[in-house]
Chains A and B, each alone.
Chain A
Amino acid sequence: MNRSVRKYFSIFLLPTFLAFILGFVIPFITGLYLSFCKFTTVRDAKFIGLSNYIKMFSDNTFLHSLWYTSLFTVFAVVTINVIAFSIALLLTRNIKGTNIFRTVFFMPNLIGGIVLGYIWQLIFNGILLYFDKTLTFSASYGFFGLLILLNWQQIGYMMIIYIAGISNIPPDVIEAAKIDGATNFQILKKVTIPMVMPSVTISVFLTLTNSFKLFDQNLALTAGEPSGKSEMLALNIYNTFYGRAGFEGVGQAKAVIFFIIVALVALLQLYFTRRKEVQA
């Protein structure tokens, strides 16, 4: 059995491999190449070397967006994971109606980002109306608005991952801890959290990359106003690509840098949280 699989594995892999080449490798390499070109459409690219990467810093919007996005990511990762984990703890305690609560918390995740953005824009502006302000009054309004929105959307999803992790903890480990006289807090700290580290890894990874790559919510909620100060990286790249004639290559160069940053941060995070994972 094993031997025949080993012999035929290349054939079984072929369709996926082809799809991977067509859907990822080729576009990726094209994109990389385009970042060194001047072009209007992807078909008339002209190689110009590194000048796109230099032009990228000609206005400081890119650095501002990078800084703003990083700050946002830190806030989002911490709040989403802490809240999602707390809710998961609550909903694994055999409370009545657990399933209903789980469904309710998960629901926001089913709504698309752009719709969510507009819904929350209405809500926020409705509240700010009492103070004669709107979301675009300052960049920090946009920041916290986006944070609330993303929390609302992602907590349910991360909660499900944590619930799966928590329910997988063998009861005998907890029981043993109890017999040894551990308090609830000690059980949480010494048993539950180390045992759900695989869930933490995946949840932190998802929230990290999602908040770094946030686009549609940003576009719908503030569209970068006021004066591009609430513009996150993905939106900045989009605006560069379409905002001026001749800046398509610069947008592409920003996208390459963006990819490198996201990949680096995500790999570092995986490396560090993986090390904390334990086997029962």
Chain B
Amino acid sequence: MQKTKRIISVCLVLCMVCLMCVGCSSDDSNASGASVAKVYYLNFKPEQAQDWEKLASVYTDETGVEVTVVTAASDTYESTLKSEIAKTDAPTLFQVNGPVGLQTWKDYCYDLSKTSLYTKLKSDDFALKGENDEVLAIAYVIETYGIIYNKKLLEDYINTEGAVIKSANEINNFDTLKAVAEDIQSKKEELGIEGAFTSAGMDSSSDWRFKTHLANLPVYYEYLDEKVEKSEAIKGTYLENYKNIWDLYINNSTVEPSMLSSKTGDDASSEFALGEAVFYQNGTWAYNDITGYEVADEDIGILPIYIGVENEEQQGLCTGSENYWCINKNASKEDIEATIKFLDWVITSEEGKKALSQDMGFVTPFSTFTDEYVADNPLLKAANEYIAQGKKPVAWTFTTMPSEQWKDGVGSALLEYAQGTKEWSAVEDAFIGGWATEYKAANSE
């Protein structure tokens, strides 16, 4: 009897201790949550991780508001976001990559239409809206990609005997690009290079350049023909062109087509940076990776990706955004307010504008960024020149691709075609058939 009582009392004491611990800890979090508003930004771009952290600490020093910046590792943003947003201390500010990404997260997005972020936006094109016209996501960086080329190496080539062009400006359609690339490839010993194009690596650090960015062109032209902005099913009108440019990339490269699967994004950028290849498909964000080595800044140029459609002499670079800010609707009111204030500070204050335009090298769609806030990036300057010449920019339609699974399917098929284990029809199946099934899968209830 005595012992039973003792057991019971010990149990009770244990229970009380547990309850006290639980009670105290939850009190603590409530107290801090109510009094101090916090900003938690889950950043998508690893290239700018440190710049964001620096900017956040400047803001904290100035206002005392705590800003946490967490950057998801390359290729893991969606998975990180999924687990982070389920936590009590969820991100107050996160990103979606476009209309398809927004579809997943629209129930978490706060209406931004009354924020300065939206009122200072240059055009509605950079906002993603919901069914009732609420502003759910706003693009904060505009990027451009094309075929980056080494002006000096191209000049060397033009000076060789029997060169097919006399000036770089003559490359304004696919046929010329093909002729030049193939001729460079055949003269690679003479030019002292490894190949015309950098390796079209299909490692996950590089394959998005082809399964997403290059695949944008056939999709873009098909949308243009059909006069639509998204589609449930793609016809594949321009897949032949896609094949031609892919053939050109893999057959005139620094490596054999069968070796592509292990080549990484770093491999390609270093090949270009060390002057081993003339052409490199990538965008304005790649500038930091290729500058400061063998290629001088004034030798970096960029060409539109020509795939052999009619009138492509007038085609410009591919310009758009896949970085949209969203504010988490489920965060506390104070945290939402704090996040809006932080973003306002980022796009209006001197420090914020400097950090975004100079340190991070962004071109932003906000009216507060006047001419003196232009990043020092030759690729951006070249991109602006194309627009000044009246070339028509290619929109980023890849944000309407049905799912990651679709991109992976196309990527795998491209790789198998390159290494010779499958025919081109596999790419067509993945592109056209995959689009229909993935669209259905992603949009069914």
Interface set of A (CB-CB < 8 Å, partner B): 7-8, 11, 14, 38, 40-44, 58-59, 121, 125, 129, 132-138, 223, 225-228, 239, 242-248
Contact = CB atoms under 8 A, between A and B. Distances in A.
A38 B441 CA distance: 13
Contacts of A248: 82
B405 A244 contact: yes
A223 B204 contact: yes
Interface in B255-270: 256, 258-262
B104 A43 contact: no
B212 to A, nearest CB: 14
B234 to A, nearest CB: 17
B297 to A, nearest CB: 33
Interface in B177-209: 202, 204
B258 A134 contact: yes
Contacts of A44: 107
B58 interface: no
A226 B415 contact: yes
Contact of B412 (A58, A121, A227, A243): A227
Interface of A is mostly: loop
List the 8 shortest-distance A-B pairs measured between CB atoms, nearest first.
A41-B86, A227-B412, A136-B261, A245-B104, A243-B405, A244-B403, A134-B261, A125-B262
B441 A244 contact: yes
Most buried by A among B105, B256, B261: B261
B408 interface: yes
A243 B259 contact: no
Contacts of B83: 41
Contacts of B445: 38
Nearest to A48: B445
A223 B444 CA distance: 28
A256 B104 CA distance: 24
A242 B441 contact: no
Given A136-B415, A244-B438, A245-B103, A8 B7 contact: yes
Most buried by B among A43, A58, A136, A247: A136
A135 B262 contact: yes
Interface size class of B (residues with CB under 8 A): 35 or more
Most buried by A among B3, B105, B202, B416: B416
B107 A129 contact: no
B161 to A, nearest CB: 31
B78 interface: yes
Contacts of A14: 14
B100 interface: yes
B370 to A, nearest CB: 38
Contacts of B443: 246
B41 to A, nearest CB: 18
A195 to B, nearest CB: 44
Contacts of A223: 204
Contacts of B403: 243-245
A242 B258 contact: no
